[in-house]
Amino acid sequence: MTATLPSHEVAAGVTTWLSAFGDALSAGDTAAAAALFTEDCFWRDLVAFTWNIKTLEGRAAIRAMLDQTLPWVHPRGWKITDGGEPAGAGGVVEAWIDFETAAGRGRGHLRLREGRCWTLLTTLDELRGHEERRGPTRPKGVERRANPARTTWLEDREQEASELGITEQPYVVIIGGGQAGIGLGARLRQLRVPAIIIDKRSRPGDQWRSRYKSLCLHDPVWYDHMPYLKFPDNWPVFSPKDKIADWLESYTKIMELNYWPDTEATTAAYDAKAGQWAVQVERDGELLVLRPAQLVLATGMSGRPNLPDFPGMDTFRGDQHHSSAHPGPGRYRGKRCVVIGSNNSAFDICGALWENGADVTMVQRSSTNIVRSATLMDIGLGALYSEEAVASGMTTDKADMVFASIPYRIMHQFQIPLYEQMRERDQEFYDRLEAAGFEHDWGDDGSGLFMKYLRRGSGYYIDVGAADLVANGDVALARGQVDRLTEDAVVLEDGTKLPADLVVYATGYQSMNGWAAELISQEVADRVGKCWGLGSDTTKDPGPWEGEQRNMWKPTQQQALWFHGGNLHQSRHYSLYLALQLKARQAGLPTPVYGLQEVHHLR
């Protein structure tokens, strides 16, 4: 077993592999390069080779990719990352690696089995000649010589704000100034790409402010950092929504972003000949056309409510709204509240209504995976995103790369044992929940909520206490499909009548290409197809297998149109690769895309 090999032998094995790999690539011998991989191998590339986000599965796919990309990539300089000692366990040797390409510098991760590569991750880290000015190359901030034409930082910022989008066109317009839009904006600013972020709301962070009162992030602080600027170490583990909103607002200032609040994009059209978008915006009531070369929709994966259309909704006399419009529990004390849905928002809203003295019923229409927050933190995220992980030397950057290094095709195999442990630890809790009639599942293949998130973006609850309310009957549970609404009740298909003063539709969100339909055209929305999901052929994630998340952070079937979003971790990490793709285009570098995804589903 490799676990018993001395560390110098482990390192020597990696060096031997890298040297053979580097030689084969330099010689253009793609057959030899592919032969260095195991038969069941994976190569996940984030922009470095493919100018795409792509996983190649198997030697033939790797060889085909190399045949096409090697002439322009010119990879070289493969080495073990300084200070990153390879480690071996369970027959697998892991190593962090560095390399270079014609365009820039890359980093990656390698897993070897019996001397051959099982998984390879390659990522583009920076573009040569367009490096970010950080650390030793940071801006001076001041000119230490007499200069009668001296301007201050503030004057420069004001001048930029008065010109960009008015007399000078930005290279990129980002529609949506939530965490995704501003994180990408920060990266583009560091890369000196002129960009404007527009948002129809009045203040950065308003998307979080507008959400139900009781909301705190479900993910812990170590998972949630924005690019460049980490939360201070007194930041709560689970950030209250208004606190994260204030952080995002401060972030836009600190990172010097060109952020246009109160600005709504109404339409966008691409002129392929001119290589330019015309984005109509209404800014503080004034109509304006922005003409960027690239358009990013960062309008939110949880931004387009999926509002059901039940017969009788128009006759219901109480309050009814989608969970995204739920104002909080205050006005529903003593009222009969029916919450349709059984995932995160539904549980959070049921819990807050119950705490405020409402009579609450949850309607469960399909099964849900519930994991207790503390258990998920310990078993699911602890190794990478926790105080203990930080103490053991784990950085956010490294944790993100570890996550990225696991190909989606086999990620469930890594997840299943974790969820088995979670089930075991909280068996008594699940027994109580199921005894209360709650339909619980662990995902189609037992891989739990993280895979559900990646595959379908729904179907789970990270329990922060509300599940107990259902288990012990404080929140009543009704199961089944909704047949109709009457003036004062929700009626289920089995005839159960649930009297209601309030109905909350916690029924999720629509695919992000709906934003493209709304802003650009149905034709463009259909051309790019569904966003999100892996094609895993599991519930709500129809095949065929895609290998990567549909349309996210990578070129789409519509030239110069990009989608950005996801949770805080994904927005943080993948904004780097999207920013580099945009920068390369702005700098006029060749960016031949390998394996542009095909479209299999429209929504």
| Cα 476 from Cα 101, distance rounded (Å) | 59
- Return the number of the residue (485 or 519) whose C-beta is nearest ligand FAD: 519
Residues 72-101 that bind ligand FAD (CB under 6 A): none
Residue 477: CB minimum distance to ligand FAD, A: 21
For residues 536 and 567, which CB has a smaller minimum distance to ligand FAD in the complex?
A: 567
Nearest CB to ligand FAD, comparing residues 123 and 179:
179
Over the window 473 to 512, marking each residue x when it contacts ligand FAD by CB under 6 A and - when it does not, the resulting string is ----------------------------------------
Stretch that binds ligand FAD, among 19-27, 292-300, 421-429, 572-580 (CB under 6 A): 292-300
Q: How far is the CB of 279 from ligand FAD (least distance, A)?
A: 9
Is the sign of the CA dihedral 183, 188, 190, 191 positive or negative? positive
Q: Which of residues 318-347 bind ligand FAD (CB under 6 A)?
A: 345
DSSP states of 487-553: SSEEEETTS-EEE-SEEEE---B--THHHHHHHT-HHHHHHH---S----SBTTB-SS--SS-TTBT
3-state secondary structure of 574: helix
Q: How far is the CB of 119 from ligand FAD (least distance, A)?
A: 25
Size of the site for ligand FAD (CB under 6 A): 31
Give the pairing type, strands 53-57 and 76-80. unpaired
Strands 92-100 and 87-89, how do they pair?
antiparallel
Q: What span, in angstroms and rounded, lies between the C-alpha atoms of 580 and 127?
A: 7
Q: Count CA atoms within 13 Å of residue 249 on its CB side.
A: 16
Residue 492, token pair as written in the block: 């289920």
Closer of 201 and 601 to ligand FAD (Cβ):
201
Which lies closer to ligand FAD via its Cβ, residue 98 or residue 282?
A: 282
Please report how close the Cβ of residue 252 comes to ligand FAD at its closest, in angstroms.
12
Q: Give the one residue of 121, 180, 186, 221 binding ligand FAD; rule: CB under 6 A.
A: 180
**Residues 182-201 as x/- pattern, contact with ligand FAD by CB under 6 A:** ----------------xxxx
Residue 461 Cβ, how far from ligand FAD at the closest point, in Å? 11
- How many other C-beta atoms can be found within 10 angstroms of the C-beta atom of residue 149? 5
| Residue whose token pair is 């075991």 | 424
| Residue 37 or 563 with smaller CB distance to ligand FAD | 563
Restricting to residues 344-363, which ones interact with ligand FAD according to CB under 6 A?
345
Binding to ligand FAD (CB under 6 A): which residues in 501-560? 519
Neighbouring residues of 554: CB distance < 8 A, sequence distance ≥ 6: 52, 53, 54, 548, 562, 577, 578, 581, 597
Residue 96 or 223: the one with the smaller Cβ distance to ligand FAD is 223
DSSP 32: H
| Cβ(257)–Cβ(189) below 8 Å | yes
Q: How far is the CB of 245 from ligand FAD (least distance, A)?
A: 10
How far is Cα 96 from Cα 399, in angstroms, rounded to an integer? 12
Point out which residues pair with 42 in neighbouring strands.
57, 119
Contact between 215 and ligand FAD (CB under 6 A)?
yes
Residue 394 phi/psi, 5° resolution? -75, 130
Applying CB under 6 A, among 218, 225, 372, 455 the residue interacting with ligand FAD is 218
Residue with tokens 């995932």: 343
Tokens of 242: 């208004």
Residue 159 phi, psi dihedral angles, 5° rounding? -65, -45
Binding mask 140-179 for ligand FAD (x = CB under 6 A): -----------------------------------xxxxx
- HEC assignment per residue over 379-415: HHHCCCCCHHHHHCCCCHHHHHHHHHCCCHHHHHHHH
CB of 185 to ligand FAD, least distance (A): 11
Angle at 10 between CA 4 and CA 12, to 5 degrees: 145
- Least gap, CB of 403 to ligand FAD (angstroms): 13
- Interface residue with ligand FAD, options 264, 387, 420, 526 (CB under 6 A): 264
- For every residue of 37-87, DSSP letters joined together read EEEEEEEEEESTTTSSEEEEESHHHHHHHHHHHHHHH--EEEEEPTT---E
Site string for ligand FAD, 562-591 (x = CB under 6 A): ---x-xx-----------------------
Contacts to ligand FAD from residues 112-131, by CB under 6 A? none
Q: Given the structure tokens 């290279």, which residue do they identify?
A: 171
Q: 281 has which bridge partners?
A: 265, 288
Q: Of the candidates 59, 211, 452, 455, which one interacts with ligand FAD according to CB under 6 A?
A: 211
Place of tokens 């991760």: 109
Shortest gap between Cβ of 199 and ligand FAD (angstroms)?
A: 4
Q: Which of 207, 447, 536, 597 binds ligand FAD (CB under 6 A)?
A: 207
Q: Closer to ligand FAD at the Cβ: 203 or 440?
A: 203
* Residues lying near ligand FAD in the complex (CB under 6 A): 175-181, 198-201, 207, 211, 215, 217-219, 224, 264-265, 298-303, 345, 519, 565, 567-568
